[in-house]
């Protein structure tokens, strides 16, 4: 299968720094190719194509181990990872029986919070999504001005707050979420979603975070976010079709879906085909 350059020539996550054990060889898939990766005896990250036995370009950045099967661009900048007052951690990877593009779209969707994450990211009867802006800048997609009523926006804060949301889609399978930090409301916690497209309709979600929370244990912060992803899994594993349709008339949408529609449009303009549902 020939994969278009906009998908092939990217960096993809295969693990976050909390996962691989030095000396062990890990087997996974990326864009339909079997690959092996691990940390050598010096704890240096490596990856090879299982069939070709060729070394692949690798990168360790943003608490994540990245691999490319093509000619990758410079990695996008995330300045918050250099801020010393942030706690950097990651959930354990989650396998999803859906296109990575479906996972990305779900991450950008605010409207599902009260239905899927009731008690944390949303609550009845607060279902209204206020208008927000979607803009394309520097080849990426930005969602600004979104806000949502949340009963428990973060592990260390129980109590209703209006949480501001800013999304940045950095590449077809990578996005960042900046959301109001309840402990320091002038600042924002950072949640990353880096999706590994194993195949067109199977993916692994890697989710590093850079949080402003000095009190909670790493385990508690991780468990809170892991619980959120677990709730999304039931939806993601039952998407029909598993690949993402880009043509606008396929699924019904409302004004609250502006981010999703813009993401589909942006993917279309970028020429992304891998992981999309094509009309036969």
The span of 23-31, 146-154, 206-214, 226-234 binding Fe ion (CB under 5 A) equals 226-234
DSSP category for residue 111: T
| Identity of the residue, 7 or 207, whose beta carbon is nearer to Fe ion in the bound complex | 207
CB of 124 to Fe ion, least distance (A): 16
Residue carrying structure tokens 């990305």: 104
The span of 32-40, 87-95, 124-132, 230-238 binding Fe ion (CB under 5 A) equals 230-238
3-state SS assignment for residue 279: coil
Element (H, E) at 38: strand 33-39
Size of the site for Fe ion (CB under 5 A): 1
CB of 109 to Fe ion, least distance (A): 7
Give the residue among 237, 248, 239 at the shortest CA–CA distance from 279.
Answer: 248
The span of 147-155, 200-208, 227-235, 269-277 binding Fe ion (CB under 5 A) equals 227-235
> Which residues in the 65-104 window bind Fe ion by CB under 5 A?
none
- Output the six-digit token pair for 156: 């260390």
CB of 235 to Fe ion, least distance (A): 7
The span of 4-12, 78-86, 125-133, 225-233 binding Fe ion (CB under 5 A) equals 225-233
3-state SS assignment for residue 47: strand
| Identity of the residue, 67 or 209, whose beta carbon is nearer to Fe ion in the bound complex | 209
Position 105 contacts Fe ion (CB under 5 A): no
Element (H, E) at 102: helix 100-107
Burial class (CB in 10 A: 0-12, 13-18, 19+), 17: middle
Task: Please give the residue whose beta carbon sits closest to Fe ion in the complex.
Answer: 232
Element (H, E) at 205: strand 202-206
- Between CA 157 and CA 172 the distance in angstroms is 32
- Between CA 102 and CA 267 the distance in angstroms is 12
| Identity of the residue, 67 or 111, whose beta carbon is nearer to Fe ion in the bound complex | 111
CB of 135 to Fe ion, least distance (A): 23
> Which residues in the 231-250 window bind Fe ion by CB under 5 A?
232
Please report, as ranges, the residues that interact with Fe ion according to CB under 5 A.
Answer: 232
């Amino acid at each position: 299968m020939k994969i278009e350059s906009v998908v092939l020539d990217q960096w993809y996550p295969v693990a976050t720094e909390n996962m691989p054990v030095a000396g062990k060889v890990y087997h996974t898939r990326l864009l339909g190719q079997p690959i092996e990766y691990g940390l050598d005896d010096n704890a240096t990250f490596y990856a090879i194509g299982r069939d070709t036995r060729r070394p692949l370009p690798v990168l360790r950045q943003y608490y994540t181990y990245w691999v490319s099967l093509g000619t990758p661009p410079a990695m996008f900048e995330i300045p918050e990872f250099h801020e010393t007052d942030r706690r950097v951690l990651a959930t354990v990877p989650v396998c999803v029986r859906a296109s990575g593009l479906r996972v990305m779209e779900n991450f950008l969707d605010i409207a599902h919070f009260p239905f899927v994450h009731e008690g944390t990211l949303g609550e009845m009867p607060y279902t209204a999504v206020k208008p927000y802006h979607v803009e394309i800048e520097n080849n990426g997609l930005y969602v600004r001005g979104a806000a949502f009523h949340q009963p428990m926006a973060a592990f260390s804060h129980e109590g209703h707050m209006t949480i501001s949301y800013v999304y940045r889609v950095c590449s077809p399978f990578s996005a960042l979420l900046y959301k109001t930090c309840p402990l320091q409301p002038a600042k924002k916690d950072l949640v990353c979603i880096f999706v590994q497209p194993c195949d067109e309709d199977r993916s692994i979600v890697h989710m590093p975070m850079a949080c402003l929370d000095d009190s909670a244990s790493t385990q508690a912060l991780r468990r809170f976010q892991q619980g959120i992803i677990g709730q999304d899994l039931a939806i993601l594993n039952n998407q029909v079709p598993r690949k993402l349709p880009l043509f606008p008339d396929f699924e019904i949408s409302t004004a609250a879906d502006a981010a999703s529609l813009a993401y589909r449009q942006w993917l279309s303009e970028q020429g992304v085909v891998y992981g999309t549902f094509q009309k036969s």
